[in-house]
Amino acid sequence: MTVSVRMREDRNCQWRVAARPADNVRDTDFAWHEEPIPVPREGEFLLRTLYLGVRPVMRMYMQGIAAAGERPLEIGDVIHGRGVAEVVRSQHPDFSAGDIVHGQLGWQTWKVSQGTLQERFIKMPRTAAPFVYGAGATGMNGFSAYGGLIELGRPAPGETLVVSAAAGGVGSTVVQIGKILGCRVIGIAGGPDKCKLVENIGCDAAIDYKNEDLAARIKELCPTGIDIYFDNVGGETLEIMLENLAFGARIVLCGSISEYMRNEPFGLTNYTRLRRVNGSMHGFFVYNFAPRFTAMADQLSAWINEGKLQPVQNIIDGFENMPGALADLYAGKNTGIQICRVRGEPEECAPLPEFGEPR
């Protein structure tokens, strides 16, 4: 995508919805907007954005769909998005200047917040640095992988776990947690480079669904069936997995990116396979795990510190490049957790600009 705008420190720069995406997102779907840095009142705090996560669901937000529990966006609204930010001024009792949080920031470089439940700002301990992990590995991406796999997939050592979009953000984390828990893990990814990555992070085998016969390879690699299928893509891939389930199999429905750009749903024809194997298929929304976010973040951080979990991150520099970063997800160009470095770690930030007086 072509970018002709430039972020300024002394303005709140935003990306807003200009048009509803018809296909993959394109330049004309986004509008750049600048306004003064907002000033926090009593009960509010000012955040400067350090990193923003980029997720497939953001295209749905732009279409006006009330996805992921967020308010449907109108044309002209700031696009929803979670990320990591530093509190730089506060008139709120629970937040102080210097705190690092992750939560709902929107596609903008500054935000004033009242710390609402919907924004769900979670403080990151100083020991959690680098704080980029809050935009994925120890944030919602990690929670989706951890909660989806452990709470719904209920893996046991020796079981066969199949993961789609295995080189992506959630997928690469699920693969590694599956290995930590002693599973035999098969990753599905698009292209030889992604398959190599999937093997490097621990998969026992990788299937290149763009160049191999997925149905034949799954049969070959899972002769006694799949115990857990962690689904990030839906559609044809899910249908093939349903044909190859072991007795008591669990399918975890995390995402269905292959369906997001279809006008008509794919329409599974073989879901009754679940009955024959006494299996289950369980969808989830990451906020379901909210009561356990802190415990999950602690465990994910511990695995990272022990070297058992290596976050795979695809970091794009510059807030200007957010639209292209979103388009890349649908083109399969990302490897790992898609993150935009807006300013980077707190010590990398420019000096604070002059602010107006609190209102």
Shortest distance (Å) from residue 328 CB to ligand NAP: 8
Binding mask 14-53 for ligand NAP (x = CB under 6 A): ----------------------------------------
**Per-residue CA distances from 214 to 192, 201, 225, 238 (Å):** 14, 21, 14, 11
69 binding ligand NAP? (CB under 6 A)? no
Are the beta carbons of 145 and 122 closer than 8 angstroms?
no
Q: Which of 170, 186, 218, 226 binds ligand NAP (CB under 6 A)?
A: 170
In the chain, alpha helices (H) = 57-62, 140-146, 169-180, 192-200, 214-221, 235-242, 273-276, 293-305, 322-330
* Binding of residue 266 to ligand NAP (CB under 6 A): no
C-beta of residue 39 within 8 angstroms of C-beta of residue 355: yes
Q: Is 81 in the site for ligand NAP (CB under 6 A)?
A: no
Among 201, 254, 322, 325, binds ligand NAP (CB under 6 A): 254
| Cα–Cα distance for residue pair 30/305, rounded to 1 Å | 39
Residues 123-162 as x/- pattern, contact with ligand NAP by CB under 6 A: ---------------------x------------------
Which tokens in the block code for residue 286?
Answer: 């990451």
Smallest gap, in angstroms, from Cβ of residue 16 to ligand NAP? 22
Q: Which amino acid is at 144?
A: S
Applying CB under 6 A, what is the total number of residues that bind ligand NAP? 28
Work out whether strand 82-90 and strand 45-53 pair parallel, antiparallel, or are unpaired.
antiparallel
313 forms part of the interface with ligand NAP (CB under 6 A) = no
Radius of gyration of the chain (CA): 21
Q: How far is the CB of 167 from ligand NAP (least distance, A)?
A: 5
Say how many residues make up the chain.
Answer: 359
Of 39 and 65, CB closest to ligand NAP: 65
Binding site for ligand NAP (CB under 6 A): 55-57, 144, 165, 167-171, 189-190, 194, 232-233, 254-258, 284-286, 329-330, 332, 334, 338
